[in-house]
Amino acid sequence: MTTTDSLQFNSDHQLQHLLSIEGLDQRLLTEIMDNAESFASLANQPVKKYPILRGKTVVNLFFENSTRTRTTFELAAKRLSADVINMNIATSATSKGESLLDTIRNLEAMHVDMFVIRHALSGAAHFIAQHVAPGISVINAGDGNHAHPTQALLDMFTIRRHKNDFSSLRIAIIGDILHSRVARSQIQALSILGAKEIRVIAPKTLLPIEVNALGVSVSHTLEEGLQDIDVVIMLRLQKERMSGALLPSESEYFNCFGLTQEKLAIAKPDAIVMHPGPINRGVEISSEVADGPQSVILQQVSYGIAIRMAIMSLILQPPGRHHT
């Protein structure tokens, strides 16, 4: 069986697909963030376009709902001058029984260069990457509870912009770790970048059994877990992936694990607050904190465009291949 590691790189050791943070190294994560810096400055220019991907075609295939990821992938591709197709899954032939692979084969026949895939099943992007024609790239935009690598990269970029040196940072990831593809990818990225401590704070029912193998420290209360923290990352309760009753109620969850201004005061005074979105006010975070001065939640969204531009240009126009 092909591993994600070997599948992600081509025979020239260049990134062909981005399926997971696993298998990437610090040099590559840093290169992507460095490239994103130049694209982030483009956001303030009157003309937000580069000709880097002129003539390339990108298809967004989202089998699960999305606001931030789908829109920022589309904007990123357009700002790089690629042609972008957003497949409407509800009105596509997959709703008439066409298999996923047949849909991919038909799109390949239209000379597509890249698929951006979101799917409820873990491993869907990996499966498609195994079956696409040579030269076509796949980016995982979130698969089940497995991985969301571009979210993790934009989160690392946001942290770097505010805090600079990962080796001095204690980061807390709070909430539904069990069902979170974002948390898995963030933990991998923070480990590769050498964070001082990655702490997860959650009730036992929302932690994976193998949590100790993730290389994190564990706390079950905000009062203990937020001590000395530089970066607070909140997670949504992934109710669409929960089976059975894992929590007494949302209000009880908010009482114990919801981030209020009072709880945030336990962390370092200059701690930043992050959330991949969508946020659920009054469930995992109070409005006071989400809209407060320590929140960088909307900056994460903006940086998502720059990071996705950096990833798409690295994959479709790697260094050494000239563009006009």
Interface region with ligand CP, contact rule CB under 6 A, candidates 31-39, 62-70, 210-218, 308-316 = 62-70
181 touches 121 (CB < 8 A) = no
Binding ligand CP by CB under 6 A: which of 18, 117, 142, 296? 142
- The mark string for 244-283 relative to ligand CP (x by CB under 6 A, - otherwise) is --------------------------------xxx-----
Task: Find the shortest distance in angstroms from Cβ 275 to ligand CP.
Answer: 9
67 is a contact residue toward ligand CP (CB under 6 A): yes
168: Cβ contacts below 8 Å, ≥ 6 apart? 196, 230
Please tell me whether residue 68 binds ligand CP under the rule CB under 6 A.
yes
Q: Which is nearer to ligand CP, 278 or 292 (CB)?
A: 278
Largest CA distance in the chain: 59
C-alpha pair distances (Å), 258 with each of 35, 202, 238, 262, 264: 35, 11, 15, 10, 10
| Strand 57-62 with 83-87, pairing | parallel
Is there a contact between 166 and 194 (Cβ–Cβ < 8 Å)?
yes
Q: Which candidate, 207, 68, 64, 70, places its Cα nearest to that of 143?
A: 64
Q: CA 157 to CA 35: how far, in whole Å? A: 11
Stretch that binds ligand CP, among 50-58, 67-75, 187-195, 237-245 (CB under 6 A): 67-75
Q: Determine contact, residues 143/118, Cβ cutoff 8 Å.
A: yes
Phi, psi of 177 (to 5 degrees): -65, -35
Q: How far is the CB of 68 from ligand CP (least distance, A)?
A: 4
Shortest approach of ligand CP to residue 244 CB, angstroms?
Answer: 24
* End-to-end Cα distance, the chain: 39
**Which range of residues in 9-17, 49-57, 63-71, 101-109 is near ligand CP by CB under 6 A?**
63-71
Tell me which of 4, 60, 69, 185 binds ligand CP, using CB under 6 A: 69
| Minimum CB–partner distance for residue 273 and ligand CP (Å) | 15
Q: Is 66 in the site for ligand CP (CB under 6 A)?
A: yes
Measured from the CB of residue 148, what is the shortest distance to ligand CP in angstroms?
A: 6
DSSP character for 133?
P
> Strands, DSSP E only, in 8-157?
57-62, 83-87, 114-119, 137-143
Q: Provide, rounded to whole angstroms, the least separation between the CB of residue 154 and ligand CP.
A: 9
Minimum distance from CB of 261 to ligand CP (Å)?
Answer: 24
> Does the protein bind ligand CP through residue 225 (CB under 6 A)?
no
Place of tokens 């003309």: 47
Counting residues that bind ligand CP (by CB under 6 A) gives: 9
The residues that touch ligand CP, with contacts defined as CB under 6 A, are 66-69, 142, 151, 276-278
